[in-house]
A = this chain, B = another copy of it.
């Protein structure tokens, strides 16, 4: 049976492959985007887990938009105006998939920053969107390029990760947020604001959502995978009713609804008096790991490599002198450290600048220090090889 045309164009996930290789005990993985298993608030979920057997209603079919008591809670939790609604998804990844399926026709233009989140490229690829990229600066998207793009290309939506971007860790400035919102309104472009790392801020003050400045023009994706547990597969999409209702219709066909016991479990967790403190604990842990990774990198990276400080999230982005980053990642893997090379984060991989994404949430401080030692050694070897052999510039 021949696979659908839309699927033929989707590359298989390089990250999945490298994650599989990275499961070797001798490899320290900075490749994934996994939260630390030890941070999962299982103690705070225990009572609800045990109480589920007294809630027969959660074992029956549920409403497509979500478990009623959770939706009621979320309306308050996210301070949704009367015009807006929340829909529960099987992870925020499904929310993104439903947005693409509800709104994007083949050839429709979807704007994103380059580099961008791999899972978003997969989803928009499946609906055969025309993915248009704008460059990213340290404050967010290049606003001149974004306005030109909006004006000349009339895109349908702008997909963005304004808080601690995956893969670069960039957090948009307040001014950028206001200006992007204004551009979305001016050019009638829907903003798809993906906020999975928003709560993982360990420095500076929280900024408003970009969507706060254009609530009628935006859909927000929320994840509980980084602050609670990814295994549950419960995410939330919010936006004005007329934006969310078509997605509910697609979700009916996609999976009828998400697991109700898992929705009840999440509700119990969000209502737990110690949940905020749990988030503070995660933030402190990740802050310490980030600081270790960053200072080790500063000390050990060879010349020509650059890194930007981040205020939260899960990733550090290291830009490199021009080289074949795939070959580099492969050689680093055999050196005992797994990383992700930059081209996988670009809709057009050949246009990628050489860089690596490093994760700091799923390895201990000791492992991070050792990983950087291996990384620096591998980098020196690879970069000097490039220089000495005067090989042509790799993509």
Contact = CB atoms under 8 A, between A and B. Distances in A.
Interface string A194-238: 000000000000000000000000000000010001111110000
Contacts of A249: 7, 10, 12-13
B49 A53 contact: yes
A393 interface: no
Contacts of A34: 60-61
B97 A4 contact: no
A320 to B, nearest CB: 28
Interface in A45-79: 45-46, 49-50, 52-53, 56-62, 64
A218 to B, nearest CB: 10
A2 interface: yes
Copies in the complex: 2
Interface stretch (A131-139, A254-262, A296-304): A254-262
A275 interface: no
Contacts of A57: 37
Which secondary structure characterizes the binding site on chain A?
Answer: helix
A103 B16 CA distance: 22
A258 B7 contact: no
Given A104-B4, A252-B122, A230 B60 contact: yes
Contacts of A126: 101, 250, 253
Contact of A101 (B7, B45, B64): B7
A325 interface: no
Interface residues on A, range: 35 or more
Interface stretch (A87-95, A173-181, A277-285, A307-315): A87-95
A334 interface: no
Contacts of A61: 32, 34, 225, 230-231
Given A59-B42, A230-B60, A256 B93 contact: yes
Interface of A: 1-7, 10, 12-13, 16, 32, 34-35, 37-38, 40, 42-43, 45-46, 49-50, 52-53, 56-62, 64, 89-91, 93-94, 97, 101-105, 119, 122-123, 125-127, 156-157, 190, 225, 229-234, 243, 246, 249-250, 252-262, 265
Given A1-B156, A40-B59, 11 more contacts: A4-B105, A5-B105, A6-B105, A7-B102, A7-B249, A13-B249, A35-B60, A59-B232, A93-B255, A233-B257, A233-B260
21 contacts: A2-B103, A3-B103, A7-B250, A13-B249, A13-B252, A34-B61, A50-B53, A90-B90, A90-B233, A91-B256, A93-B253, A93-B254, A93-B255, A97-B253, A97-B254, A97-B255, A126-B253, A233-B260, A254-B254, A261-B261, A261-B265
